[in-house]
């Protein structure tokens, strides 16, 4: 046991010698770093869109080269009259040209695959008479799209389907774009700042000097053996921290919102300690991107199919869920939420979903989230705000919403 505290103390001392503040980054000021559509898809599309800047064709050419498009033996993907759009036909990034060629880029940072999603996009472009179609599935680590999303597309497309990562492909491409933009300082600095966001998302933002010192520490004495054990224990510590959050949320609901707690649904995260821990452990398994959603949900008086709650994907979000087939209830809930003054996002299954105080990535938490989770007072404050968000949504759907809905729903600062 002597080696463990010694190793951790050395790491702590080294870490203190490096400044904690980051360089100013405009992307941090404007968008959440995991905002797939409004940050990543739009910025990547802007870099390759000739309508945005004169170096876009070079940036697009570099991206196609890194993606190995065209593939050997196939006609080149033409850059002539290239057209770049986001969210057209619900496709995150779509590149087309006059030769009826199309490049579909599906961008997944935290969101899970939808049923037949990539298949639908491919069929939509076939319907537009595109004959040479490439599909690229972009994630942080380059994992494969689910078969539910592909619906047999991998066999049909073969090498025209690619799984790529922010960690390698996009980061490599950004370095190339920086080189292309060497004489365009505004563009070069924008790309450099965006690359810093990618480094942080993929866990590659630690200073090189800091990493060199850590490597030197690990290579002395028996520290490598200790570090291996600590790596295993780290995942179990994340499980324990997440479990504390769910327990804290249930306690807050019970103490402060007993009227809502009376409608707790059976499909909520189990209150049995063993079963609950098992579900959370699966969240941290290598195939976590294929995991099922789970959370704490409440039935809503006056609605048969709508549940209000808090759910985890990579981070936590709150809102009201309605299966897509119940369009009438979805519309009624959406109108009630709008009338209450609550604001947030919508998709086909959620009339309202909102980022909450614990929205950050639980799979690979940054320092900010770890500081919240490991500090009892900070964790309680964050849990309280999340619970208030859920209750605000639940009250918004009641026949006579409380006057406190807007106040509770907007009290979300850390």
Query: Which pLDDT value is given to residue 303?
Result: 94
Tokens of 82: 């290239």
Quick one: 358 and 344 in the same domain?
yes
Rounded distance between C-alpha atoms, residue 374 and residue 240, angstroms: 10
Quick one: 216 and 354 in the same domain?
no
Query: For residue 312, what is the enclosing H or E element?
Result: strand 307-312
Quick one: 241 and 368 in the same domain?
yes
CB neighbour class for 277 (10 Å; exposed up to 12, middle 13-18, buried from 19): middle
pLDDT digit string, tens, across residues 169-218: 999 999 999 999 988 988 999 999 888 888 888 777 666 676 777 777 77
Q: Do 100 and 131 form a contact (C-beta atoms < 8 A)? A: yes
Neighbour count for residue 58 (Cβ, 10 Å): 17
Q: What total of structural domains would you count in the chain?
A: 3
Q: Do 62 and 75 form a contact (C-beta atoms < 8 A)? A: no
CB neighbour burial string for 351-380, b if at least 16 within 10 angstroms, e if fewer: bbbbbbbbbbbbbebeeebeebbeeeeebe
Tokens of 11: 């790491």
Q: pTM of this prediction? A: 0.65
Query: Which pLDDT value is given to residue 405?
Result: 38
Quick one: 266 and 151 in the same domain?
no
Query: Which pLDDT value is given to residue 258?
Result: 96
Quick one: 217 and 242 in the same domain?
no
Tell me how far CA of residue 41 lies from CA of 53, 91, 163, 323, in angstroms.
Answer: 17, 10, 16, 27
Quick one: 78 and 104 in the same domain?
yes
Phi-psi region of 238 (alpha: psi -120 to 50; beta: other; left: phi over 0): alpha
Please list the ranges in the chain whose pLDDT falls under 70: 1-37, 71-74, 205-208, 210, 286-292, 400-414
- Dihedral angle sign, alpha carbons of residues 28, 29, 34, 36: negative
Query: For residue 354, what is the enclosing H or E element?
Result: strand 352-355
Query: Which pLDDT value is given to residue 44?
Result: 93
* DSSP 8-state symbol, 38: I
Quick one: 215 and 358 in the same domain?
no
Quick one: 35 and 169 in the same domain?
yes
pLDDT digit string, tens, across residues 128-138: 999 899 999 99
Tokens of 37: 């559509």
Quick one: 50 and 186 in the same domain?
yes
Of 162, 186, 221, which one is at a domain's C-terminal end? 221
Quick one: 9 and 98 in the same domain?
no
Quick one: 36 and 10 in the same domain?
no
| Full residue range of the structural domain in which residue 315 is found | 228-410
Query: Which pLDDT value is given to residue 257?
Result: 97
* DSSP 8-state symbol, 52: T
Quick one: 189 and 290 in the same domain?
no
């Amino acid at each position: 046991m002597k080696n463990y505290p010694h190793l951790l103390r050395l790491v702590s001392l080294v870490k203190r010698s490096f400044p904690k503040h980051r360089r100013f980054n405009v992307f941090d000021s404007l968008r959440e770093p995991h905002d797939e559509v409004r940050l990543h898809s739009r910025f990547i599309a802007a870099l390759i869109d000739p309508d945005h800047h004169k170096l876009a064709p070079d940036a697009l050419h570099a991206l196609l080269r890194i993606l190995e498009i065209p593939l050997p033996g196939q006609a080149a993907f033409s850059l002539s009259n290239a057209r770049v759009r986001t969210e057209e036909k619900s496709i995150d990034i779509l590149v087309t040209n006059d030769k009826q060629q199309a490049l579909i880029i599906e961008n997944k940072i935290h969101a899970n695959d939808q049923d037949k999603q990539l298949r639908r996009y491919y069929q939509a472009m076939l319907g537009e008479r595109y004959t040479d179609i490439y599909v690229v599935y972009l994630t942080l680590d380059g994992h494969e799209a689910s078969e539910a999303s592909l619906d047999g597309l991998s066999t049909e497309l073969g090498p025209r389907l690619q799984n790529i990562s922010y960690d390698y492909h996009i980061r490599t491409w950004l370095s190339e774009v920086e080189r292309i933009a060497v004489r365009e300082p505004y563009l070069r600095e924008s790309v450099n700042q965006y690359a810093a966001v990618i480094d942080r998302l993929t866990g590659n933002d630690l200073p090189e000097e800091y990493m060199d010192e850590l490597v030197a520490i690990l290579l002395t004495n028996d520290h490598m053996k200790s570090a291996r054990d600590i790596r295993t224990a780290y995942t179990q510590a994340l499980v324990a921290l997440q479990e504390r959050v769910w327990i804290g949320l249930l306690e807050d609901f019970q103490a402060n919102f007993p009227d809502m707690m009376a409608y707790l649904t059976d499909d909520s995260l189990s209150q049995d300690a063993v079963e609950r821990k098992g579900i959370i452990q699966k969240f941290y398994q290598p195939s976590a991107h294929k995991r099922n959603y789970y959370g704490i949900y409440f039935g809503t008086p006056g609605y048969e199919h709508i549940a209000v709650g808090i759910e985890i994907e990579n981070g936590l979000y709150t809102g009201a869920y309605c299966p897509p087939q119940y369009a009438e209830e979805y519309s009624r809930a959406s109108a009630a939420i709008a009338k209450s003054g609550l604001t947030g996002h919508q998709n086909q299954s959620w009339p309202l979903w909102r980022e909450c105080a614990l929205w950050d990535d639980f799979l690979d938490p940054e320092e900010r989230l770890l500081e919240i989770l490991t500090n009892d007072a900070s964790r309680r404050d964050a849990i309280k705000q999340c619970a208030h968000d859920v209750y605000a949504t639940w009250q918004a759907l009641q026949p006579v919403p409380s006057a406190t809905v807007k106040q509770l729903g907007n009290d979300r600062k850390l």
